[in-house]
Amino acid sequence: MPIIIASSNGSVGIDAGWEMLTRGGSALDAVEAATRLVEDNPDDHSVGYSGYPNLLGEVELDASIMDGSTLRAGAVGGLRGYRYALSVARRVMEELPHVLLVGEGAARFAAEIGMQPENLLTPEAEQTWRAGIEGHATLDWAGISELVAQLLKRSAQLTRDPEHATGTVNFIAQDAAGHIASAVSTSGWAWKYPGRLGDSSIIGAGNYADSRYGAAACTGWGEAAIRAGTARSVVLYLKAGYTLETACREAFGDLQPIMRGTPNAMSLVALDRHGNHCAFSTSEDRTYVYRTDGMASAVELPRLVV
Ligand code: ASP
């Protein structure tokens, strides 16, 4: 019965999540353990340490976790200076009467629970950031005048390199007791406007789990997932009796008017309570990974294209 699925960049963490499940760990423990390894991965510039920064060169992380058996959730947005955004989100869920902390409050809470502060911007990510903003605007990095603020706004709208400017990790696990948990962690859209929150920290948009039906988690154009409430919509379509694949197709149908004409991509992974899994993307050649009983290691599968 246990199973864990992830976006393809979750392959560095999925086996650790699986081990957790086979040792009797909860779905929550599994998705957290798996996510931390992705947040550690210096080669992944879309999550945690070495994530690509915002327009001003500051790494701002978004993350959320949901316990599908209690419908408790925790999230952080615009977290600076702490790589384990998902663990901070979990502690928000477990220790505060809140769901979402942002910015300075999120960093303050991370410090209070003993997380180690650090500079998340690696020289490599910094170099790419400098190259990425080049040509979009002439910016006076020393002092942000009114004019520069306007240019910043404009160039935030010009962050258009889907291969390099976006990325997120999704994990969904079901444990031996049938509990489902989902986790999402990201440094968001590269060169985003400072303070921009994506879908990854918005429960219902980029992440939703309900052990009675299933779970879904998104990557891609966060603004679209926020506008359509995508992750929650998949779960509601499951509740309405659709198969997993049809539930996902319905959710993409809801996204259609938002996606029309945009160069941005949307993708999701989904799991139902019976252990069925699938993943969809508006882009070709995207994959996801999963591991369940009887498998020696995680297997990569193609996503269905919508
Ligand atoms: N969904 C993320 C965001 O909008 C980015 C991504 O997955 O590409 O922040």
The per-residue pLDDT for range 238-253, each reduced to its tens digit, is 999 999 999 999 999 9
Looking at CATH, the fold of the domain delimited by 3-305 is given as: Glutamine Phosphoribosylpyrophosphate, subunit 1, domain 1 (3.60.20)
Which ligand 1 atom is nearest residue 223's CA? Answer: 4
Pocket residue to mutate for ligand 1, from 55, 164, 219, 230, most atoms within 8 A of Cβ: 219
Residue 286: its pLDDT value, please?
A: 95
Question: Is the pLDDT at 13 greater than 90, yes or no?
Answer: yes
Residue with tokens 């779905």: 27
List the catalytic residue out of 35, 159, 168, 219: 168
Q: What are the percentages of helix, strand and coil residues in the chain, rounded to 5? A: 35, 25, 40
Which ligand 1 atom is nearest residue 62's CA? Answer: 9
Question: Is the pLDDT at 201 greater than 70, yes or no?
Answer: yes
Spacing, Cα 242 to ligand 1 middle (Å)? 27
For range 4-19, the mean pLDDT: 98
| Total-model pTM | 0.92
Residue 283: its pLDDT value, please?
A: 94
Residue 262: its pLDDT value, please?
A: 87
Which ligand 1 atom is nearest residue 192's CA? Answer: 9
Question: Is the pLDDT at 153 greater than 90, yes or no?
Answer: no
Name which of 121-125, 153-157, 283-287, 302-306 the model is least confident about.
153-157
Which ligand 1 atom is nearest residue 222's CA? Answer: 4
Spacing, Cα 206 to ligand 1 middle (Å)? 9
Number of helices followed by number of strands (H, E) in the chain: 10, 13
Residue 225: its pLDDT value, please?
A: 98
Spacing, Cα 225 to ligand 1 middle (Å)? 9
CA-nearest residue for atom 4, ligand 1, is 222
At residue 158 the predicted structure's pLDDT band, cuts being 50, 70 and 90, is: very low
Question: The tokens of 215 are what?
Answer: 């779970």
83-99, pLDDT tens digit by residue? Answer: 999 999 999 999 999 99
Q: In whole numbers, what is the pLDDT of the chain averaged over residues?
A: 91
Pairing of strands 72-79, 100-102: parallel
Distance CA 257, CA 156 (A): 23
Pocket residue to mutate for ligand 1, from 189, 202, 226, most atoms within 8 A of Cβ: 189
Residue 131: its pLDDT value, please?
A: 79
Sign, CA dihedral 179-180-184-185, equals positive
Pocket residue to mutate for ligand 1, from 168, 218, 266, most atoms within 8 A of Cβ: 168
Which ligand 1 atom is nearest residue 196's CA? Answer: 9
Residue 162: its pLDDT value, please?
A: 41
For range 52-70, the mean pLDDT: 96
Pocket of ligand 1 (CB under 6 A): 166-168, 186, 188-189, 198-200, 206, 219-220, 222
Spacing, Cα 168 to ligand 1 middle (Å)? 6
Contacts of 20 (CB under 8 A, 6+ apart): 29, 30, 33, 34
At residue 190 the predicted structure's pLDDT band, cuts being 50, 70 and 90, is: confident
Name which of 27-41, 90-104, 147-161, 200-214 the model is least confident about.
147-161
Residue % of the chain over a pLDDT of 70: 89
Spacing, Cα 198 to ligand 1 middle (Å)? 6
Q: Clarify whether 219 is annotated catalytic.
A: no
Spacing, Cα 184 to ligand 1 middle (Å)? 10
Question: Is the pLDDT at 39 greater than 60, yes or no?
Answer: yes
Residue % of the chain over a pLDDT of 90: 83
Residue with tokens 């009467």: 97
Integer CA distances (angstroms), 288 to 10, 73, 97, 158, 299, in order: 8, 24, 34, 28, 8
Q: Residue-wise over 85-124: b if at least 16 C-beta within 10 A, else e?
A: bbbbbbbbbeeeeebbbbbebbbebbeeeebeeeebbbee
